[in-house]
Amino acid sequence: MNLPVIEQNGQRVLTTSQLAEAYGTDVERIQVNFNRNKDRYKEGKHFILLQGEELKQFKTTYQIDKSLSKINKLYLWTEKGAWLHAKSLNTDQAWEAYEMLVDEYYRVKDNAINLQMLSPQLQALISLELRQKQLEQEIAMVRKEAVEAKQQIANTTNEIVDLKRGLVDINIPLRKQFNDAVRALSKREQIGFDEAYSRVYELLGAQYHVDIKRRVENRRMKGDKNIKPIDIVEELNLLVPAIRLAKALAGKVG
């Protein structure tokens, strides 16, 4: 399998078009499978997402596909990401291609340099470079965790403020408070309950970067037929923000 080598964050990766070509399918099929199973894919583990300055630098370094010049974000698939895509396609060609990718692309052991055969100076330089890449990955992970922790703190702060302002009553089940707020929205806007719930879930998902509807569909595909959007909201600890949002839409936040 003759593929131009692409390295990002110290590891070999493939673009969506390269992966599709290797698996005997098209880019759209890869994208559909990814969107349907998005909760299974972890950034940094299964894929690397390039945007902004990182993407600009990538386009300058790798001029492998003219269509890349028109995009504003790019997914690069790691070995683990390629495995998930092969599992989604589940064809003989995809599995055979995956095995070849592992042997001939992702893990190039036969062509690896034996450091012991190099001079001490070169060994030291290579070791320093590898350590620097490792540190860069660790710093990126720490920054990501810091952002997530900051968001959690913000959520907790908002919940405390809501309690003080009386937006949430600790003596009443949160689900009931949410349902009451959505019904108030339905009454105010003169829309059906389903439309009112959908409006709240859509805005809540946009605010917290989560596709609630898609998560419900994925869970039902896995056999959880009784899962509801409210269950997903509760699992993500977003009931209090959901109550706040529904009350705001219903004009009950003063």
Q: What is the DSSP string of 152-176?
A: HHHHHHHHHHHHHHTSS-TTS-HHH
Q: Both 101 and 13 in a single domain?
A: yes
Percent of residues, the chain, with pLDDT higher than 90: 30
Q: Name the domain count of the chain.
A: 2
Q: Both 10 and 90 in a single domain?
A: yes
CA quadruple 144, 149, 154, 156: dihedral sign: positive
Domain membership of residue 139 (yes or no) is no
Q: Both 174 and 99 in a single domain?
A: no
Domain membership of residue 200 (yes or no) is yes
Q: Both 102 and 165 in a single domain?
A: no
Q: Both 238 and 170 in a single domain?
A: yes
pLDDT of residue 110 exceeding 60, the answer is no
Q: Give the Å distances, CA to CA, from 127 to 13, 26, 167.
A: 22, 40, 57
Could you say which of 106, 129, 146 is where a domain stops?
106
Domain membership of residue 148 (yes or no) is no
CA 180 to chain centre: 32
Residue of higher predicted confidence among 81 and 68: 81
Q: What is the pLDDT of residue 1?
A: 58
Separation CA 114–CA 57 (nearest Å): 30
CA quadruple 242, 248, 250, 254: dihedral sign: positive
* Domain extent at residue 57: 6-106
Could you say which of 86, 106, 126 is where a domain stops?
106
Q: Both 11 and 79 in a single domain?
A: yes
Could you say which of 72, 106, 140 is where a domain stops?
106
Separation CA 250–CA 74 (nearest Å): 39
Separation CA 67–CA 63 (nearest Å): 10
Q: Both 16 and 78 in a single domain?
A: yes
List the single range of 65-69, 88-92, 159-163 with lowest mean pLDDT. 159-163
Q: Both 99 and 190 in a single domain?
A: no
Domain membership of residue 234 (yes or no) is yes
Q: E-assigned strands of 53-114?
A: 73-77
* Tokens representing residue 243 in the block: 């109550």
Domain membership of residue 137 (yes or no) is no
- Under 8 Å between Cβ of 203 and 250: no
Q: What is the pLDDT of residue 103?
A: 80
Separation CA 85–CA 195 (nearest Å): 35
CB under 8 Å to 109, separation ≥6 — which residues?
A: none
pLDDT of residue 14 exceeding 60, the answer is yes
User: Region 231-235: what's the mean pLDDT?
Assistant: 91
Domain membership of residue 127 (yes or no) is no
What is the CA angle 6-12-13, rounded to 5?
70
| Average pLDDT score over the chain | 82
pLDDT of residue 125 exceeding 80, the answer is no
Domain membership of residue 217 (yes or no) is yes
Domain membership of residue 19 (yes or no) is yes
Q: Both 100 and 173 in a single domain?
A: no
Q: What is the pLDDT of residue 240?
A: 86
Q: Both 165 and 101 in a single domain?
A: no
